[in-house]
Structures are given as structure tokens and as C-alpha cells.
Amino acid sequence: MAGIDEEILHGGVANRGAVVRVGDTVRRPAGPWSEATRVLLSHLESGGFEEAPRSLGVDDRGRDVLSYIGGEVPLPPFPAWSMTDAVLVEVAGLLGRFHQATAGWVPPESLSWSDELPDPVGGPVVCHNDVCPENVVFRDGRAVGLVDFDFAAPGRPEWDVVRTIGMWAPLGDPTSRRAHPPGLDAVHRFGIFAAASGIGADGAEALVDLAGLSKESGLRFVRRRLDAAEPAFVEMWEASGGDARWAGDRAWLEEHRRFLAGAVVAAGS
């Protein structure tokens, strides 16, 4: 039970109800990859990346302590202001700056990174792997904070790009959307985000291929949580349509492959 001085921070599924604000700090459950997160956040701080929380150690309950980044965080159902093209460009810029801050960094070999949603081939930067709307902090429409690095792992920038736009477009059957405003043009938004991420025509087909791989990676992640009977994931699965929703998303991606690739080409021309 949260103490009287603890405010639950809503958003996300894996740690639902367990991430709290205490004054100017955030407390969140420690996990098997906490040490990697702490080292990553320390690297970002030393490199001057201002848009991530600072690691402040561990509290007397064994929880990770982080600095709090104030602002607005889009929560489902996502407000219209958070789903504009301008916000997409903001998020792409934030993600790109994060990748730049980790490019060339050689983490200690002893670190254990998350194996939940990683790029299957690794890569030259650290990917966040979960840049959903609930993990970006905004002020006056600007993306000023990136939070929740639990799933971070080395990978290619393009993997993080496609994982991110998959959640923001969103990529999938529009009839199964529950959290996003109606009428979003996912194909157009895919192209906008790719262009803002510096991906042009020569990378269009590869990016669409990664979109499918990312979707399957996400499904495997969810199924592992379902097999473990984690209540939050069971509830989410049932509320979102379960197998029918994932089948619809796969079909949508296959049907829209050439349109997605074309949007990348058009946006970058």
C-alpha cells in the first residue's frame, strides 16, 4: 500500500501501481536489469543528456530512486494534442538525441541488459525499446523527458524507431484501437516519423520489415507475461481483443507494406 506521502504515477502495464512519486523523486521496483539502467542513466548524466531522470540510488525498501521530471504525460485515452504530427517530430528528435548520447559508448561487459524486447541483432547504440506515449514527458508541446528504461538494451537506432512509431502511429488494425483518437492516418504518421528520424528512401523497405519483426517481438513479450498469469497483462489482453486483435494487426501490416514504404519515400523526398 502506498504511504501517505506517495503519489502513484499511472501509465504502463508491467509495473502498474508500483511506481510512485515522493517529493521530487520517483520510486520504482528494482529488477534484474536495474544495475544496467543505473549505469546507463549515469552515462547520460555525465554526457549532458538532460532529458532522462537521474539515478539517485536505492531506498530503504530496495526500490530504485530517480529524479522526477515534471510535465504532462499522455495517458490512455491519449489526448488529441499528443497525437499531432508536430508531437511526432518532437518524439523523433528526443529519441535521436538519446541515441546520439549512447553512440560510441562501451558499457561494462558485466551488465545484464533486458532480454524482453531487444533488437535481435544488437547494434551500436542503446535502444530504449518502450517509447510509448506514457513514457514521454511534455511541456508546452515539447518533448522534454524520456522515462522508464527498464527494457533498454544495445541495438540499432532503426529498431527503436520502428518500435516507437508502432506505438504512436499506431501500426495495426484501426478497428482494434482503444487508446488512440479516431481518424489517425497511421501510414502518413509512419512516414513523418521516419523522415524526422533521418530515414530516407533507401531505408524504407528495411524499416517496414523491422515493423513486422517488432510486432512479433511484442507479441512474444506479452505471451510470456500471459503464461506467467500476470494480472495486468491478462486484463490488457482481454480488453484489447486478444488473439483476434493481433491477427488483425498482422493482416493490416501485410496489406499496407507498400503504402508504408511509399510514405517513407514521400516524406523524405
Residues of the chain with pLDDT under 70: 1-4
Grid cell in block for residue 103: 553512440
Q: What is the pLDDT of residue 268?
A: 82
Please tell me whether residues 114 and 158 are part of one structural domain.
yes
* H or E, element range at 153: strand 153-155
Q: Mark 44-56 as b/e (b = at least 16 C-beta within 10 Å).
A: bbeeebebbbebb
Q: What is the pLDDT of residue 38?
A: 98
Quick check: 117 and 129 in contact, CB under 8 A?
A: yes
- Within a domain: 73: no
Q: How far apart are CA 178 and CA 173, in angstroms?
A: 11
Q: What is the pLDDT of residue 4?
A: 55
- Within a domain: 15: yes
Q: How far apart are CA 66 and CA 21, in angstroms?
A: 9
- Within a domain: 188: yes
DSSP per-residue codes, 59-117: -TTS-EEEE---SB---SSPPGGGGSHHHHHHHHHHHHHHHHHHTT----TT-----SS
- Number of structural domains (the chain) is 2
Please tell me whether residues 134 and 254 are part of one structural domain.
yes
Please tell me whether residues 132 and 163 are part of one structural domain.
yes
Q: What angle do CA 219, 223, 227 make, to 5 degrees?
A: 175
Please tell me whether residues 159 and 38 are part of one structural domain.
no
Q: Are strands 125-127 and 136-139 parallel, antiparallel or unpaired?
A: unpaired
Report pLDDT digits (tens) over 112-145: 999 999 999 999 999 999 999 999 999 999 999 9
- Within a domain: 138: yes
Please tell me whether residues 62 and 86 are part of one structural domain.
no
Q: What is the pLDDT of residue 134?
A: 96
Determine the 3-state secondary structure of 179 from DSSP: coil
In which domain, by residue range, is 24 found? 7-67
Please tell me whether residues 228 and 260 are part of one structural domain.
yes
